[in-house]
Amino acid sequence: MLPGFIFATGIENSIPTIDGGKVRMDEMEKCGHYRYWHTDFDLVQEMGLCVLRYGPPLHRTFLGVDRYDWSFADETFRDLRRRDLVPIVDLCHFGVPDWIGNFQNPDFPALFAAYARAFAERFPWVQLYTPVNEMYICAVFSALYGWWNEQLATDRAFVTALKHVVRANVLAMREILDVRPDALFIQSESSEYFHAENPKAIGPAEIRNARRFLSLDLNYGRRVDSDMYEYLMDNGMTRAEYRAFLKNNLKHHCIMGNDYYQTNEHRVTANGATCASGEIFGYAVITRQYHDRYRLPVMHTETNLCQGPNGDEAVNWLRKEWANVLRVRNDGVPIVGFTWYSLTDQVDWDSALRENNGRVNALGLYDLERKIRPVGEAYRQLIRDWQQVLPTQSVCLQVPVVLPSEYDDDWGRKSRRHARQTREAMTAAPKNAD
């Protein structure tokens, strides 16, 4: 079993398209992972980590209905298992294969669920998943801001994308659980907040603060706020679709992963326009809002900051985020993990992947030459200092993760058998009326 608190990093695998679908922003390619994946896994272990947010490139793997190219995944996941590294498998990160089109395609949820099942059947030892990464951001950037994929900018397009990505996530969870009954799902959703600039901006800010919860409300089967119900109905969601989301009952398999960056808080004007506000509340305050709403274990699944001219900006941000994690834990929220994202520097995120400039962003624990950055040194020391003393050593707060090396052990088989029996009993039990 994975010991204690989960420290993690990730391999950035965003794949949105821009320029009307003609340009694929493949971060694995831009950051050199296809070439240096073996070295990257070495660096994960050098950091003292045993958990990695990671997934095969969807557009290169999912070639058509029942058509898959597993060659890269077979190599990389075989090596992860050999190293006994635990992947949190990120199956869809901001984009789909060209043959699917974009997130307006109503066939996407069922197609993606079939892909998720095929992955789980090929790699049955994998237990942790983020089926669709940052569902809210994916729908906003693709269909409300007009930046990626379908590049639309309407409320109706946003609701369409949102219901498709959330349904894809839910259907994928079900298919994975059918193969791996003790699977756990870490949502990795952006945690946002909108601040009213003046009294006239309170209304627009309240709308945006309600809308930020839509993806997780639908994913967890929680009734949305009344204003958001009208918003969904006015923009193309049917009552039948909404009722289907309310039937989701997979929360007991979920950890509410939330991401926080300096750009996650926004200032709202009276006419509804928004701009970045910088950090005002911070991770601890906003995470309490999300936890109070969903009452699930929490994992800080993404953060980073660019190493700036002083060379210590990212290190200071790491220390601040870690202090926020400890504050959340001390306030009684069951937070089980922390992630610096990503392992290496990224490319073109300074334009939110809207421009194909090839500009390197110094956000990683290592640079693109695979040399450690100051924040990498600081994170490695933080892991050494805190790994053995956090109160998740208590059994009641421990995540029941089966290590790859334990998959075929007696207790690994027992875990899956018990999970399947529990799932079957819950399915057979009569449902309480609302």
Dihedral in degrees, nearest 10, Cα atoms 261, 311, 316, 40: 60
Residues 231 and 211: beta-carbon distance below 8 Å: yes
Mean pLDDT of 271-292: 97
Taking the CA atoms of 312, 287, 185 and 162 in sequence, report the sign of the dihedral they define: negative
Residues 164 and 104: beta-carbon distance below 8 Å: yes
From its phi and psi, is residue 306 left (phi > 0), alpha (psi between -120 and 50) or beta? beta
Question: 221: closest CA among 431, 399, 416, 398?
Answer: 431
pLDDT in tens, 92-146: 999 999 999 999 999 999 999 999 999 999 999 999 999 999 999 999 999 999 9
Mean pLDDT of 57-82: 98
Task: Using pLDDT thresholds of 50, 70 and 90, give the confidence band for residue 296.
Answer: very high
Residues 118 and 39: beta-carbon distance below 8 Å: no
Q: Is the pLDDT of residue 156 over 90?
A: yes
pLDDT in tens, 268-280: 999 999 999 999 9
Task: Using pLDDT thresholds of 50, 70 and 90, give the confidence band for residue 434.
Answer: very low
Residue 3: the pLDDT is 65
Lowest mean pLDDT among 30-39, 78-87, 183-192, 386-395: 386-395
Q: Is the pLDDT of residue 284 over 90?
A: yes
Extract the tokens encoding 201: 């901006």
Residue 432: the pLDDT is 47
Q: Could you tell me whether strands 298-302 and 335-340 are parallel, antiparallel, or unpaired per DSSP bridges?
A: parallel
Residues 362 and 358: their CA atoms lie apart, in Å, by 13
Task: Using pLDDT thresholds of 50, 70 and 90, give the confidence band for residue 399.
Answer: confident
pLDDT in tens, 228-238: 999 999 999 99
Question: 172: closest CA among 125, 212, 121?
Answer: 121
Residues 350 and 337: their CA atoms lie apart, in Å, by 27
Question: Mind listing the domains of the chain with CATH numbers?
Answer: 6-405 (3.20.20.80)
Mean pLDDT of 180-197: 97
Question: 25: closest CA among 38, 16, 12?
Answer: 16
Mean pLDDT of 273-298: 97
Residues 101 and 95: their CA atoms lie apart, in Å, by 9
Residues 133 and 90: beta-carbon distance below 8 Å: yes
Kindly report the average pLDDT of the chain as a whole number.
Answer: 95
Task: Quickly count: other Cβ atoms within 10 Å of residue 283's Cβ.
Answer: 24
Return the SS3 of 352: coil
Task: Using pLDDT thresholds of 50, 70 and 90, give the confidence band for residue 423.
Answer: confident
Q: Is the pLDDT of residue 164 over 60?
A: yes
